[in-house]
């Protein structure tokens, strides 16, 4: 299993029953150092790789599943990254992700579009207005299940799709 954007390893406790080994990819050496500390608390073998999702240093069709959480908004070359994810994923493999994305409401989209230029400079490249589902489909994935959550109490009302994808 490959986690793209493993960061500090917050997801590691959730893999205990589902993964036999984990490859963690992240461009940040500092976050990988934190991820290495978190790995000591899990029995699953973990290999951490410093690198970007646009050039994943893994052989073709080498992983059964890919997980990414709150990451695709900030990957600079998102379409290249998704093509790379598809390349390393075995036929029949699955991409699991949770992301915020482009809102369905025009008023909220207006705010997302107008805030994104400044926001991405303040938040590590995060694009509030990315239509993640469209990028995923354009990379050749088929969406099997798409859940959309909108928290009406949040002033920006970002949609939070939790999606399961199958190649």
d(CA 112, CA 132): 14
* Tens-digit pLDDT profile for residues 24-41: 999 999 999 999 999 988
The CATH number of the domain covering residues in 2-166? 3.40.50.150
Question: Which CA distances in Å does 46 have to 14, 18, 26, 62, 122?
Answer: 14, 14, 13, 15, 31
* For residues 94-121, average pLDDT: 93
Check residue 107 and give its pLDDT: 94
**Does position 158 have pLDDT exceeding 80, yes or no?**
no
Q: Tell how strand 89-98 and strand 63-69 pair up.
A: parallel
Share of the chain above pLDDT 90, in %: 71
Q: What angle do CA 76, 47, 133 make, to 5 degrees?
A: 35
- Asked if residue 34 lies in contact with residue 8, where contact means CB atoms within 8 angstroms, the answer is yes
Domain spans of the chain, in order of start: 2-166
Confidence band (pLDDT; 50, 70, 90) for 48?
Answer: very high
**Does position 147 have pLDDT exceeding 80, yes or no?**
no
Check residue 165 and give its pLDDT: 53
Check residue 153 and give its pLDDT: 44
């Amino acid at each position: 299993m490959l986690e793209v954007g493993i960061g500090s390893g917050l997801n590691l406790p959730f893999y205990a029953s589902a993964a036999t080994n984990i490859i963690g990819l992240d461009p940040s050496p500092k976050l990988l150092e934190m991820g290495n500390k978190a790995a000591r608390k899990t029995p699953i073998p973990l290999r951490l790789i410093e690198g970007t999702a646009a050039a994943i240093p893994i052989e073709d069709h080498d992983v059964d599943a890919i997980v990414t959480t709150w990451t695709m908004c900030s990957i600079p070359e998102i379409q290249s990254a998704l093509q790379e994810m598809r390349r390393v994923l075995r036929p029949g493999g699955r991409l699991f992700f949770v992301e915020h994305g482009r809102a369905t409401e025009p008023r909220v989209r207006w705010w997302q579009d107008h805030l994104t230029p400044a926001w991405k400079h303040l938040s590590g490249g995060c694009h509030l207005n990315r239509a993640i589902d469209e990028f995923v489909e354009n990379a050749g994935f088929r969406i099997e299940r798409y859940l959309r959550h909108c928290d009406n109490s949040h002033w920006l009302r970002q949609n939070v799709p939790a999606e399961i994808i199958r190649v």
